[in-house]
Structure 1
Amino acid sequence: MGALLMGGASARADGPSPRVAGAGADVTVNANEGLGTIPSTAYGLNSAVWDAQMNAPEVQDLLKAAGVGMLRYPGGSYGDIYHWQTNTAPGGYVAPGTDFDAFMGTVRKIGAQPILIANYGSGTPQEAADWVRYANVTKGYGAKYWEVGNELYGNGHYGSGWEQDDHPDTSPTAYADNVLQYVSAMKAVDPTVKVGAVLTMPGNWPDGVMAAGESADWNHAVIPLIAGKADFVIVHWYPSSPDAAHMLGTPSQLTGELAQLHDELDAAGAGDTPIALTEVNGGTAVDTQPNALFGADAYFTALQSGVFTVDWWDTHNGAQQISTAPDGATDYGDWGVLSSAGCVGSVCEPPLNTPFPPYYAIKMLSQLGRPGDSMVGSGSTDATVAVHAVHRANGDLSVLLINKDPSAARTVTLHYTGFTPDLSAPVTVSTYRDGAAAIDTATSAYSADRTLPPYSLTTVTLHAKAGTSSALSAPGAPKVTAAGDTTATVSWTPSTGGAVTRYEVYRQVGTTSELLADSTGTSATVHNLTPGTTFTWNVLARDAAGRLSAPSAPVTVRTGTPADSTCRVAYRTTAGWGNGFNAEVTVTNTGPAQITGWTLAFDFPGAGESVSGFWNAQVSQTGRQVVATPVDWNATLAAGGGNSASFGFTGANDGAAPPPTVFTLNGTVCATT
Structure 2
Amino acid sequence: MHLSHARKWLYYLSLLVLGLGVVQAAHAQNLVIYTGKLENGWQNWSWCQTELGNTRFTYAGEPSIQVHYTAPSQGFYLAHEPFKTDGYTALSFWINGGNTGNQHIQVAGLLDRKAQPAVPLASFIKGGAILADRWQEVVIPLAALHVDHAANFTGFWLQDASGTAQPPFYLAAIRLLAAPPPAQIRLDVDVQHILRNVSPIAIGLNTACWDSHLNTPATIELLSPLHINILRFPGGSTSDGYHWQTNNSDNNTWKWATDFDSFAHIAQALHTQAFITVNYGSGTPQEAAAWVRYANIEKHYGFKYWEIGNECYGNWEEDHHPIPHDPYTYAVEAAQFITQMKAVDPSIKVGVVAVVGEDSFANNKNHAAVNPRTHQTHYGWTPVMLSTLHQLGVLPDFLIYHRYEQNPGNESDAFLLQAARTWPNDAANLRQQLSDYLGSDGDKVALVCTENNSVSYNPGKQTTSLVNGLYLADSVANLLKTEFQSICWWDLRNGPSPNNNNSSTLYGWRNYGDYGIVSPQNDRYPTYYVFKLLAYFANSGDQIVSASSNYDLLSIYAARHPNGSLSLLIINKSPDQTLTGEIHLAGFNPQRAALCYSYGIPQDDAARTGKGSPDLAMTRCTVPGATFRFQFAPYSANVLLLKGK
**Pairing partner for 1:226 from 367, 389, 395:** 389
Alpha-carbon contact 2:296-2:302 (below 8 Å) kept: yes
1:289 maps to which residue?
466
Deviations 1:484-534 (CA, angstroms, capped at 9, x unpaired) = xxxxxxxxxxxxxxxxxxxxxxxxxxxxxxxxxxxxxxxxxxxxxxxxxxx
- Deviates most, 52-61 or 144-153: 52-61
1-side partners of 2:190 and 2:432: how far apart? 26
Q: Does 1:273 align with 2:450?
A: no
1:405 maps to which residue?
574
Query: How do residues 35-434 of structure 1 correspond to structure 2 at under 5 angstroms?
Result: 35-90=195-250, 97-154=257-314, 161-170=315-324, 171-202=326-357, 207=360, 209=362, 211-212=364-365, 214=368, 215-226=378-389, 229-240=395-406, 242=410, 243-267=412-436, 268-269=438-439, 270-283=442-455, 285-321=462-498, 323=502, 324=504, 326-340=506-520, 352-422=521-591, 425-434=592-601
Secondary structure of the residue that 2:336 maps to in structure 1?
helix
2-side partners of 1:94 and 1:388: how far apart? 47
**Pairing partner for 1:451 from 609, 631, 645:** 631
1-side partners of 2:253 and 2:306: how far apart? 23
2-side partners of 1:328 and 1:75: how far apart? 27
- CA-CA distance at 1:330 after TM superposition: 1.7
2-side partners of 1:74 and 1:224: how far apart? 29
2:135 maps to which residue?
none
Runs of 4+ aligned structure 1 residues displaced above 3 Å come to 90-97, 212-215, 225-228, 324-328
- CA-CA distance at 1:94 after TM superposition: 6.9
Alpha-carbon contact 2:247-2:255 (below 8 Å) kept: no
Write 1 or 2 for the structure with the bigger share of helix: 2
Alpha-carbon contact 1:55-1:97 (below 8 Å) kept: no
- CA-CA distance at 1:99 after TM superposition: 0.6
Alpha-carbon contact 1:196-1:234 (below 8 Å) kept: yes
Query: How do residues 463-542 of structure 1 correspond to structure 2 at under 5 angstroms?
Result: 463-465=643-645
Query: How do residues 516-665 of structure 1 correspond to structure 2 at under 5 angstroms?
Result: none
Alpha-carbon contact 1:46-1:312 (below 8 Å) kept: yes
Alpha-carbon contact 2:250-2:282 (below 8 Å) kept: no
1-side partners of 2:254 and 2:357: how far apart? 33
| TM-score (ref. length: structure 2) | 0.63
Q: What runs of 5+ residues in structure 2 fail to find an aligned partner?
A: 1-181, 369-377, 604-613
2-side partners of 1:79 and 1:185: how far apart? 19
Secondary structure of the residue that 2:310 maps to in structure 1?
coil
Alpha-carbon contact 2:466-2:508 (below 8 Å) kept: no
1-side partners of 2:200 and 2:301: how far apart? 17
Deviations 1:158-182 (CA, angstroms, capped at 9, x unpaired) = xxx2101111123201101111100
- CA-CA distance at 1:96 after TM superposition: 5.7
Alpha-carbon contact 2:212-2:257 (below 8 Å) kept: yes
* Cα separation, partners in 2 of 1:282 and 1:400, compared to 1, 3 Å: same
Secondary structure of the residue that 1:260 maps to in structure 2?
helix
**Pairing partner for 1:440 from 598, 608, 617:** 617
Residue identity matched to 1:452: F
1-side partners of 2:615 and 2:635: how far apart? 15
Size of the aligned set, in residue pairs, is 424
Alpha-carbon contact 1:201-1:237 (below 8 Å) kept: no
Secondary structure of the residue that 2:630 maps to in structure 1?
strand
- CA-CA distance at 1:23 after TM superposition: 6.7
Deviations 1:380-417 (CA, angstroms, capped at 9, x unpaired) = 11101121110111101111001111111111111122
2-side partners of 1:106 and 1:210: how far apart? 38
2-side partners of 1:440 and 1:166: how far apart? 51
1:647 maps to which residue?
none
Secondary structure of the residue that 2:536 maps to in structure 1?
helix
2:109 maps to which residue?
none
Alpha-carbon contact 2:248-2:255 (below 8 Å) kept: no
2-side partners of 1:295 and 1:429: how far apart? 19
Deviations 1:335-354 (CA, angstroms, capped at 9, x unpaired) = 110012xxxxxxxxxxx101
Alpha-carbon contact 1:286-1:331 (below 8 Å) kept: no
2-side partners of 1:148 and 1:373: how far apart? 30
Deviations 1:189-229 (CA, angstroms, capped at 9, x unpaired) = 110010000001349xx726453455421111112333561
- CA-CA distance at 1:83 after TM superposition: 0.4
2-side partners of 1:244 and 1:114: how far apart? 32
Alpha-carbon contact 2:397-2:444 (below 8 Å) kept: no
Residue identity matched to 2:490: W
2-side partners of 1:368 and 1:93: how far apart? 46
- Deviates most, 170-179 or 188-197: 170-179
2-side partners of 1:446 and 1:132: how far apart? 52
2-side partners of 1:70 and 1:201: how far apart? 24
| TM-score (ref. length: structure 1) | 0.61
Deviations 1:592-628 (CA, angstroms, capped at 9, x unpaired) = xxxxxxxxxxxxxxxxxxxxxxxxxxxxxxxxxxxxx
2-side partners of 1:35 and 1:449: how far apart? 25
Alpha-carbon contact 1:325-1:331 (below 8 Å) kept: no
* Cα separation, partners in 2 of 1:94 and 1:374, compared to 1, 3 Å: farther
- CA-CA distance at 1:311 after TM superposition: 0.5
2:640 maps to which residue?
460
2-side partners of 1:426 and 1:444: how far apart? 6
2-side partners of 1:310 and 1:92: how far apart? 32
Residue identity matched to 2:318: Q
Identical pairs, percent: 34
